[in-house]
Structure 1
Amino acid sequence: MRALLKLADAIDWLNEQVGRLMYVFAMIMILIGVYNATVRYLGSFIGRNLSSNAYLEAQWYLFGAMFMLGAAYTLKHNAHVRVDIMYGRLSAKGQAWIELLGTVLFLLPFSIMVLYLSLPWVEFSWKLHEVSPNPGGLARYPIKTVIPIAFALSCSWSSYF
């Protein structure tokens, strides 16, 4: 039992650290967006292209990583979006049952399925060293790697029950 509690604490710590890293990702994403918009207007003013597809793709990659990697942190802090039709009217026990059933019947099976199905896809992308088809685009295999990592973190969130 003590080993399981240590494992749960380690998972808790990991998801907390990943969640904090997402704050940094958000700031970097905003700075890249501001830079890209600024140089695009400046470039049109001086007649030179100062922007790059790499900046746009970096923004999208950071957004995707934030969304996927931040999911377990959001679930841990009970801050995820919820359609609250009946949930708010239920007792604490009723809410706990909905959380438990939703996790066991939907979150875990879906996360395990995506984790299982994404691994060959990510492996293939790494073998090819897949790159964006856009001129100046970024490598795609690192961002594809985020998918199984994110769903593994979501599966590990279930240890909080």
Structure 2
Amino acid sequence: MSFLISVSRVVDAVNARIGKGISWLILLAILVSAVNAVVRKLFDTSSNSWLELQWVLFAAVFLLCSPWTLKDDEHIRIDIVNAALSKRARDGIDVLGHLAFLLPFSLVMMVTSWPFFFASYAIEEQSMNAGGLPQWPAKLLIPLGFTVLFIQGLSELVKRVAIMSGRLEDPNARAGGHQAAAEAEAERLLAVAPNVGPQDAAHAAPHKN
């Protein structure tokens, strides 16, 4: 188990670095979109390659940052149900979810999308739109994204089993995240609420004109 935990740490570090690097493509997508809009308005011209580049950049961020999101436990949960469960129950749900849903689905996507990409690459597939981009780089993002997500899913499974067996401290419980920060703020407001009088509440409430 200690070896698997060490491998998991390497996977986490690599996917976090990939995610942080790929996230800068959001800025590039904004710049491409802004330039395309300005050129279209000022010169009444545009290019399908600019539009398709925005789609590719968004796909790259969505697919290649998903392992980083999974690592930091920032994926969406049903907080009302999740908060009512014990820590061990939540960990058990995570293990079940990884085994029954995340890993099988990622594996299916890997198996089906790699041939999908290779077929596109073999014929050097181009966009059906005039002046568009080659299609195979965009199609490469699908198997690549699900491959790294599958590897990160294995890492999360190893960590969750180690946490449940007491061999590892939950890094997300210590580091927090958006959800943990929101829970901490909610606890702070609940603690302050009994000490707030009606007059203070009136001042804190939003005013309507």
CA distance in structure 2 between the aligned counterparts of 1:149 and 1:67, rounded to whole angstroms: 12
| 2:83 aligned residue (60, 85, 88) | 88
TM-score under structure 1 length normalisation: 0.90
CA distance in structure 2 between the aligned counterparts of 1:91 and 1:3, rounded to whole angstroms: 28
Match for residue 59 of structure 1?
54
Q: Does 1:37 align with 2:37?
A: yes
Q: How many residues align?
A: 156
Letter in 1 for 2:38: T
Following superposition, the deviation at residue 56 of structure 1 comes to 0.5
Following superposition, the deviation at residue 22 of structure 1 comes to 2.4
CA distance in structure 2 between the aligned counterparts of 1:147 and 1:55, rounded to whole angstroms: 21
Give deviations 1:115-158, integer Å, cap 9, x for gaps. 01111111100101111111110011011111111111111112
Give deviations 1:9-65, integer Å, cap 9, x for gaps. 321122111111222110100100111111111113xxxx2x211110000001011
Q: Does 1:98 align with 2:93?
A: yes
Letter in 2 for 1:32: V
State the 4+ residue runs in structure 1 displaced beyond 4 angstroms: none
CA distance in structure 2 between the aligned counterparts of 1:103 and 1:68, rounded to whole angstroms: 18
TM-score under structure 2 length normalisation: 0.71
Larger Rg: 2
| 1:111 aligned residue (106, 110, 119) | 106
CA distance in structure 2 between the aligned counterparts of 1:9 and 1:78, rounded to whole angstroms: 15
List runs of 5+ in structure 2 lacking aligned partners: 160-209
CA distance in structure 2 between the aligned counterparts of 1:2 and 1:83, rounded to whole angstroms: 32
Aligned partners of 2:19 and 2:65 also within 8 Å: yes
CA distance in structure 1 between the aligned counterparts of 2:95 and 2:3, rounded to whole angstroms: 23
Following superposition, the deviation at residue 95 of structure 1 comes to 0.9
Match for residue 24 of structure 1?
24
Match for residue 9 of structure 2?
9
Letter in 2 for 1:22: I
Match for residue 201 of structure 2?
none
CA distance in structure 1 between the aligned counterparts of 2:100 and 2:42, rounded to whole angstroms: 52
Q: Does 1:153 align with 2:148?
A: yes
Letter in 1 for 2:8: A
CA distance in structure 2 between the aligned counterparts of 1:129 and 1:154, rounded to whole angstroms: 26
Give deviations 1:66-92, integer Å, cap 9, x for gaps. 111111111111111223341121111
SS across alignment from 1:86: helix
**Identity fraction in percent:** 37
List runs of 5+ in structure 1 lacking aligned partners: none
Letter in 1 for 2:21: L
Match for residue 143 of structure 1?
138
